[in-house]
Amino acid sequence: MITITKEWKENHHYDALFIGIHEKEELNSWLKTIDASFNENISKLYQEKQIHTKLHEITKIHTFGQMQTKAIYLVGLGKKEKWNSSDLQQALGKVTRQAAQEKVKSVAIDVESFFVDNESQEKNIHLIMESIGLALYKVETYKENSHNESYSFESIEMIHEGANENWVDYAQKGLVFSEGTNLSRRLINIPGNLLTPTYLAEEAEKLAQKHGFEVEILEKEQMEELGMGALLAVAAGGVEPPKMIVLKYQATDEWEDVLGLVGKGITFDSGGISLKPGLKMHEMKGDMGGAAAVLGAMDIIGQTKPKRNVLAVIPSTENMPSGSALKPGDVIRAMNGKTIEVRNTDAEGRLVLADGVSYAKQLGASELVDVATLTGAVLVALADCTTGAITNNKEWFHKVEEASEEAGEWVWAFPTHKPYHDLLKSSDVADLNNAPGRLGGSITAGLFIGEFAEETPWVHLDIAGTSWASRASHTGRAGGTGVMARTLAYLAEQTK
């Protein structure tokens, strides 16, 4: 339960009170009031530098019955002039995780002490609650005595003298964005033997039932009728049946001006005949991070209800080696009729997305974004903190970029000069080469998908570096990050 109040009252009971404090700043009015109840011992601690104010440092002060609040968590925010929304998320994330570990149930927050100056009050409230929701996410485990129950605060009170009743809506929206992101994270973290294309389709059907979406799940026979030869070729090596998953959110009377979101749904990627090295192959359960981002975004969209029609398309299969698997040198035909020479079966994501993008266009998408854990090369170029992008329309890319900035998820556009396009045509036997070489690998991979977007405004987002975290952060554990779920949700809002 989230409540808003304009003033802090000493006789209100909370398990914890969160207050942010910047370096070299005086105690704020709240702390001065509280200090009086402690015979000014808090200010003495501050003067003696026993209250830590560097970024992400936390000082916990037990009240020992001097006030109804059990403990005060003073959160170091670092230098005021450097404070930004990313720091806010990390700082709130850290104190939230500590409080959750200590089984805190009721929390009060001096929200103004965490505000970022260049953000609106609405956005600050959203960020505070989103950060708390992200930090409370727990990775499920499968150990014999596992306890996977999610933890949440029973009540959160946001205190600010300028608060108004709309703040509850802003706070709830922040939680909705965290919930959608956490759905993406949960899906990515599920082992590949459990999260199959069939399971992914069932998750989409649950979302459809929850939000009233129209849902369509194409089976292998239907894909064959539609000529989805690229998706079916990747699926040929596995025993799990492929699925083409479709969700439709219709906001207007007419199915027009449709935002198409296409997510790569490879539920496990062995590399196929072009087998991957064994080291870290277990992380390839997360090769459906694009699909997870799209489903997370649809969960947010189903609750925020933007005024734009949104189509989600997820081509899903495993990529496995077997006697029936796709082979290097094979020539396949995609749904739009183009032929592809397969030089590398580990370049399978672009193949399934070829049919996914073509199907999204057939279903009426007027603008497209595809999201995929597509290339290891993007990690070399941009590390694990920035998503790589390819586009055929700069104006459309700028809208996607604006949404990513609103979400705090960095995106960088690669060049798309003619020589990169020419590399795709380097096959002597087919229209396209799916793996023309290491040079410009992230660029040629994205441009390959663009061959199927054709003239439709399109942006490709390569999240191979950003979808998986090898180490924990203050807003989450190692594993799936849910990156781009929030960006796509903001995009649906901003392109009405």
pLDDT at 471: 77
Average pLDDT, the chain: 94
pLDDT at 440: 96
Band (pLDDT 50/70/90 cuts) for residue 56 is confident
Task: Kindly state the average pLDDT of the residues 272-295.
Answer: 96
Task: Kindly state the average pLDDT of the residues 262-272.
Answer: 98
pLDDT at 424: 97
- 346 is annotated as contributing to ligand binding: yes
Task: Tell me the residue type at 389.
Answer: A
Strands 458-462 and 387-391: antiparallel
pLDDT at 186: 96
Task: Kindly state the average pLDDT of the residues 317-327.
Answer: 98
Say if residue 127's pLDDT is above 90. yes
Percent of the chain with pLDDT over 90: 82
Tens-place pLDDT, residues 351-376: 999 999 999 999 999 999 999 999 99
Q: Higher pLDDT residue, 472 or 259? A: 259
pLDDT at 40: 84
CA distances from 218 to 225, 246, 315, 374, 444 (A): 10, 8, 9, 23, 29
Say if residue 293's pLDDT is above 80. yes
- 287 is annotated as contributing to ligand binding: yes
Tens-place pLDDT, residues 433-473: 999 999 999 999 999 999 999 999 999 999 999 999 987 76
Band (pLDDT 50/70/90 cuts) for residue 477 is confident
Band (pLDDT 50/70/90 cuts) for residue 331 is very high
- 330 is annotated as contributing to ligand binding: no
- 15 is annotated as contributing to ligand binding: no
* Residues 449, 370: Cα–Cα separation, whole Å: 9
pLDDT at 246: 98
CATH code 3.40.220.10 region(s) in the chain: 2-165
* Residues 92, 157: Cα–Cα separation, whole Å: 15
Band (pLDDT 50/70/90 cuts) for residue 8 is confident
Say if residue 171's pLDDT is above 80. yes
Tell me which of 45-54, 201-210, 485-494 is least confident.
45-54
Say if residue 288's pLDDT is above 90. yes
pLDDT at 163: 85
CB 308 within 8 A of CB 401: no
pLDDT at 39: 80
Residue 172 DSSP code:
H
Task: Kindly state the average pLDDT of the residues 255-265.
Answer: 97
Strand segments, DSSP code E, in 162-257 are 214-218, 243-249
Q: CA geometry: angle at 89 spanning 61 and 285, to 5°?
A: 120
The residues, ordered by sequence, that sit 6+ positions from 84 with a Cβ below 8 Å of its Cβ are 116
CA distances from 210 to 46, 225, 487 (A): 50, 30, 21
- 35 is annotated as contributing to ligand binding: no
Say if residue 496's pLDDT is above 60. no
Given 186, 350, 399, 486, which residue is catalytic? 350
pLDDT at 264: 98
Band (pLDDT 50/70/90 cuts) for residue 474 is low
Q: What fold does the segment set 180-494 form as a domain?
A: Aminopeptidase (3.40.630)
Strands 479-480 and 468-469: antiparallel
CA distances from 223 to 73, 230, 315, 365 (A): 56, 10, 10, 19
Tens-place pLDDT, residues 59-112: 999 988 888 889 999 999 999 999 999 999 999 999 999 999 999 999 999 999
Task: Kindly state the average pLDDT of the residues 178-206.
Answer: 97
pLDDT at 475: 66
CA distances from 104 to 127, 156, 167 (A): 21, 11, 23
pTM of the predicted protein model = 0.96
Provide the 3-class DSSP secondary structure of residue 71: strand
Given 276, 327, 338, 477, which residue is catalytic? 276
Band (pLDDT 50/70/90 cuts) for residue 27 is confident
* Residues 296, 184: Cα–Cα separation, whole Å: 5
Q: What fold does the segment set 2-165 form as a domain?
A: Leucine Aminopeptidase, subunit E; domain 1 (3.40.220)
Task: Kindly state the average pLDDT of the residues 21-41.
Answer: 83
Tens-place pLDDT, residues 384-393: 999 999 999 9
pLDDT at 382: 97
pLDDT at 316: 98
pLDDT at 495: 62
Element containing residue 229 per DSSP (H, E): helix 229-235
Tens-place pLDDT, residues 137-164: 988 889 888 777 778 899 999 998 888 8
Strands 71-76 and 58-62: antiparallel
Does residue 350 carry a catalytic annotation?
yes
Task: Kindly state the average pLDDT of the residues 197-207.
Answer: 98
CATH code 3.40.630.10 region(s) in the chain: 180-494
Phi, psi of 302 (to 5 degrees): -65, -25
